[in-house]
Structure 1
Amino acid sequence: MTIQTAFTYITGAIGELYDEREAANIAHIIMEYLTGMSKLDRIVHKTKILSPDQKQRLKEAIEALQRHEPVQYITGTSWFYGMELLVNRNVLIPRPETEELVEWMVQDAAHRHRLHLLDIGTGSGCIPLALKKSLPDAQVSAIDVSEGALEVARSNAARQRLEVNFQLMDALNPAQLAGLPEFDMIVSNPPYITQSEQTSMQELVWGFEPSLALFVPDNDALLFYRHISVMAQSRLLPGGALYFEINEALGKEVVALMESLGFAAVTLKQDMFGKDRMVKGNKI
C-alpha cells in the first residue's frame, strides 16, 4: 500500500461518517501521524510504500474512526493557540472558541505587568499555557479535580517550556479553594452541558471525552458558575475580572447570576459563529 492509496483508503472507509471535506482533513491528519511527513512531502513521495508497522497503525486508526473516536485522541495531539498539545481521554479536546476567550483576556491584559492569573478546571492546560505564552511575565496557576488531566497539563507545560503552577483542587469544595492567593484574573471553561442535551450531541463528543468535564445536572445548570463566582468575589483583587466560557443557551442566566453576586460591567460576548459563548465580570 502506497501513501497515495492509503489516503484514498481512509477517505473511503469513513465516507459515510463525515462529509467529503472533513473526511479528507481527517485523512491528512492520520497520514501525517503515520508517516511523520507533511502534506507536500507526501505528494512528492506518494508512491512510497507503507511499512508493516504503518499499515497496522493505519488499520487501528480506521477502526477507531469508525467507532466515532475523535482523530485527536487517535493521534494523541491537538492544536491550540499555535501550540501542539497532548490530549487523551482524561481531557477535553481544545476548541477554537476557547482561543477567543484567551484572546479576550490577553487584550484586556495589554500594558499590564506581573499579573497573577488562575484557570479553574484546566484539563489539558490549554488556557493557562496560552495565557503564559502571550503574557510571559504573568504568574499563571491552574487547578483541576482530575489527576489524570493534571498529568496531561504538566506534560504539555514541559513540552511547551512554559511555567504554570498546576494543583489538584475541586472547584466545588470551598475549603480547598480557601487557601488560594488573590488573583488579577480568574478564568474557567467549566462543565456546562445539561444531561438532557446529551441526546442532541455527536457521539464522538460524549462517547469519548470525559463526562466529568462536560455535564451538569439538568436541575442545576449553573452549578459551577455559581460556586466559582462566589469564590472569585473573595479571591479576586479589587478591579480584577472573572471570565467564563458558557453554554450558548445560558448567556442571560450567567450574566444575571454574576450581577446578583456583585460583579460590575458584566459583558456577554459572542464567538466566531455568532453564539453567546463568553462572559466577563469585574470585581468592584
Structure 2
Amino acid sequence: MTIQEARQSLQTKLSTIYDPREAANITDWVLESLTGLGRSARLVKAHEPLNAEQEGRLMDYIPDLLRHRPVQYVLEEAWFHGLRFYVNENVLIPRPETEELVEWIIEEHKDTEALTILDIGTGSGCIPISLKKALPQATVYSCDVSEGALEVARRNAKDLDAAIHFLQQDILYQELWSTLPGVDIIVSNPPYIPEKDKSTMHANVLEHEPHLALFVSNNDPLTFYEAIANLALQKLNDNGAVYAEIHEDLGSATLALFQEKGFGRAAVRKDMQNKERMIKAAELTSR
C-alpha cells in the first residue's frame, strides 16, 4: 500500500462518520504520525509504499477511529503550545482555548524574575509543563485527584524535560490544603460543564474523555471556582492572581463569585471565537 493509497482509503472510510474536512484532517494527522512526513513531503513521496510496520499500525487504528475514538487517543499524542504530549483516556485532550489561557499568563509574567505557580487539575500536564518551558524561572506545582492523570503528566514532564512538582490532591477537601505551597499564580482548567449539557455533546467526547474532568452538578456548576477562590484566600501571595478557564455561559456568574470573595480586580477574557472562556482575578483584599 502506497502513501497515496493509504490516504485515499482512510479518508474514504472516515467520510462515512465525519464531514469531509474533518475526515481529511484526521487522515493527515494519522499519516504524519505513521510516516514522520509533513503534508508536502507526503505529496512528493505519494507513490512510495508504507513499510509492514506502518501498514500494520494503520490497520490497527482504523476500527478505533471508526467507532469515534478521538484520533489523539488512537495515536496517543496531542500537540499543545508547540509541544507533543502523550495522552490516553485518563486525561482530557488538550484544547486550543487552553493554549490561550497559558499565553495570557506568559505574556504577563515573562519578565518576572521569581515566580511560583500552582496548577489545579493537571490532566496531561499541558498547562504546567507549557508554563515551565516558557517561564523557566518559575517553580511549578501541579495537582490532580486522579492517579491515572498524574501518571500521564509525570511521563510528559519527563519526556519534555520539565521540572514539575506533582501532588495527588482533591481540591474540594479544604483539610488537605495545608500540603500546598504559597504561590504567586493559581491556574486551572477545572470541571465546569453541567451534567444537563451532556445531551448536546459529541459522542467522541462523551464516550471516551474522562467525565471526572468534565462535569459538575447542575445545582452547583461553580463548585470548583469557589474552592479555588477560597484556596487563594489562604495560599496566594501578595500581588498574586488566579487564572482559570471557564464555561462560556457562566462568565458573569464566575466573575461575581471572585468579586464576592474579595478580589478587587477581576476580568473575563474572550477567546479567538469571541466566547467568554477565561478569567483573571487579582488584588485580593479579603484575607
TM-score, normalisation: structure 2: 0.96
Name the structure 2 match of 1:115: 115
- Looking at structure 2, the residues matched to 128 and 277 of structure 1 have their Cα atoms a distance apart, in angstroms, of 19
Listed one character per residue, the Cα deviations across residues 56-110 of structure 1 (whole Å, up to 9, x for unaligned) are 3222212111111110001101000010111110100111100110111112213
> How far off its partner does 1:167 sit?
0.9
2:111 counterpart of 1:92:
no
2:37 counterpart of 1:37:
yes
SS at match of 2:84: strand
Indicate the RMSD between aligned Cα atoms, in angstroms.
1.2
Unaligned runs of 5+ in 1: none
> How far off its partner does 1:176 sit?
1.4
Q: How many residues align?
A: 284
Name the structure 2 match of 1:59: 59
> How far off its partner does 1:111 sit?
2.1
Name the structure 1 match of 2:81: 81
- Looking at structure 2, the residues matched to 157 and 231 of structure 1 have their Cα atoms a distance apart, in angstroms, of 25
- Looking at structure 2, the residues matched to 32 and 148 of structure 1 have their Cα atoms a distance apart, in angstroms, of 28
TM-score, normalisation: structure 1: 0.97
SS at match of 2:219: helix
SS at match of 1:266: strand
- Looking at structure 2, the residues matched to 277 and 18 of structure 1 have their Cα atoms a distance apart, in angstroms, of 27
- Residue type at the aligned position of 2:61: A
> Which residues of 2 match residues 86-165 of structure 1 at below 5 A?
86-165=86-165
> How far off its partner does 1:52 sit?
3.8
- Looking at structure 1, the residues matched to 64 and 157 of structure 2 have their Cα atoms a distance apart, in angstroms, of 28
SS at match of 2:249: helix
Name the structure 1 match of 2:273: 273
> How far off its partner does 1:31 sit?
1.1
- Residue type at the aligned position of 1:244: A
- Residue type at the aligned position of 1:280: K
Listed one character per residue, the Cα deviations across residues 24-75 of structure 1 (whole Å, up to 9, x for unaligned) are 1110111122223332332222222233443332222121111111100011
- Looking at structure 2, the residues matched to 41 and 239 of structure 1 have their Cα atoms a distance apart, in angstroms, of 50
SS at match of 2:179: coil
- Residue type at the aligned position of 1:188: S
115-124 or 52-61: bigger deviation: 52-61
SS at match of 2:250: helix
- Residue type at the aligned position of 1:75: L
- Residue type at the aligned position of 2:34: L
Name the structure 1 match of 2:264: 264
- Residue type at the aligned position of 1:269: R
2:7 counterpart of 1:4:
no
Identity of aligned residues (%): 46
Name the structure 2 match of 1:189: 189
- Residue type at the aligned position of 2:278: M
